[in-house]
Amino acid sequence: MTVLVPPARRTPSVRGIKATQPVGAATWGDMARLHNWLKGQPRALIPGLATGPGPGFADTDDLKLGLRFYPSGYHHTRLWTVRATGSGNTDITIGSLSTRTMNPPAPPSGSGLSIPMLEPLEVVEELASLPTGMTAVDVDFRFEVGESDSWDLMDLSCWEIPHPYLRDADGQATSRIVSGQPITADLVSTLRSGAADMLIGHRMLGAWAVPYATGAGSTITTYAASTTSGTFGDLWDFPVPALARNTTQAPGATTEAVYCDVLAWVNSGTAEVRLKGTGGAGGTGSATSITATTPTWVTMEPLEVELEDLSETTGMPSNTFEVVDLQGRVTTATTLYVASAILYEATS
């Protein structure tokens, strides 16, 4: 069975809720519809990443980007969009989907590049079954640039596409809420689970990726961020703004944890990565060890960042975004490589 997702948010009225008096079926129904609407909202899985302008890809490059995201578990259709500039045709394969050919426009002259002006290649992905909640999904984005052609990836994004229905297990059927009839324990339990679901509206704060392998699967280090220094240094060219949601509104709470998954490896020995905040809470996360000698996804130790303040118009206590950098160092004589990273709110 399925449950209808309302087309618009329903906010239950509290006027009919009074001490010692029963709550009417209309109020319970609106609470159930709000629950269904919240569960039915899609998620930005990859909020947008780019490798260009520069480094460009040319001369039959056949390369892979490693991507990771955490789906909601409620939607079985995804929309991928790709924007690029260049010359000639480029074959693009996302995961196990069919290869598509893209013929991007030439880069505009001058400095007036506007990514929204680039017509995207759109690829719809239909899942055979729903994901198991907030479970990491790894996808390879492969592209092959034609001979004598060049290509710059300006934007790669992925969203869940909303559907008008939820599984019965995820939603609440309003047909069971009838005036004069008791509210059952399982209905109350479902609504409580929705109210306590901190993953509703879960945010992917940022994504970054460069090629880590050839189309045949051979590891490459040409494009990866790297370091041989024994001192922590920034691996990203630009830090990522981060402001944590105030999901619990706990009295006195000023920070919340954010996490980062990295696709990283070393030549040999050991290296470390960590998150560093600037402005806002301005904290430093604990170091996470990297020992794999092939590209491997690792979930880093979290970083406490500034929590939104709902009394502020901007939502930011300091009225400016805290920014987060990915830092790395080696602890033995080796080279640390990082080719992909995502910054996100907690998965539990």
Are 68 and 33 contained in the same domain?
Answer: no
How many domains is the chain partitioned into structurally?
3
Determine the structural domain holding residue 64 and report its residue range.
44-160
Does 189 map to a domain?
no
Residues 85, 154: contact at Cβ < 8 Å? Answer: yes
Are 67 and 175 contained in the same domain?
Answer: no
Does 205 map to a domain?
no
Does 175 map to a domain?
yes
Tell me: cis bond preceding 251? Omega within 30 of 0 counts. no
In this structure, what CATH number is given to the domain that contains residue 54?
Answer: 2.60.120
Residues 69, 342: contact at Cβ < 8 Å? Answer: yes
Are 125 and 232 contained in the same domain?
Answer: no
Are 64 and 169 contained in the same domain?
Answer: no
Residue pLDDT tens, the chain, 348 long: 688 888 888 777 777 777 777 777 888 888 888 888 888 888 889 988 887 656 677 766 788 999 999 888 888 899 999 988 888 888 899 998 999 988 888 776 655 556 557 788 999 999 888 887 667 888 999 988 877 778 888 889 999 998 888 877 777 777 777 777 777 777 777 777 666 665 666 788 999 999 999 988 999 999 999 999 999 999 998 899 998 887 665 667 788 889 999 999 999 999 999 999 998 889 999 999 999 999 999 999 999 998 888 788 888 887 888 999 999 999 999 999 999 999 998 755
Provide the whole-model pTM. Answer: 0.86
Does 216 map to a domain?
no
Are 22 and 118 contained in the same domain?
Answer: no
Are 35 and 129 contained in the same domain?
Answer: no
Residues 95, 68: contact at Cβ < 8 Å? Answer: no
Are 143 and 48 contained in the same domain?
Answer: yes
Are 23 and 117 contained in the same domain?
Answer: no
Contacts of 111 by beta carbon, 8 Å cutoff, 6+ apart: none
Are 32 and 51 contained in the same domain?
Answer: no
Are 94 and 178 contained in the same domain?
Answer: no
Does 203 map to a domain?
no
Does 285 map to a domain?
yes
Are 30 and 101 contained in the same domain?
Answer: no
Does 217 map to a domain?
no
Does 196 map to a domain?
no
**What is the per-residue DSSP string for 69-105?**
E---SS--EEEEEEEEEEES-EEEEETTSPPEEE-PP
Are 238 and 90 contained in the same domain?
Answer: no
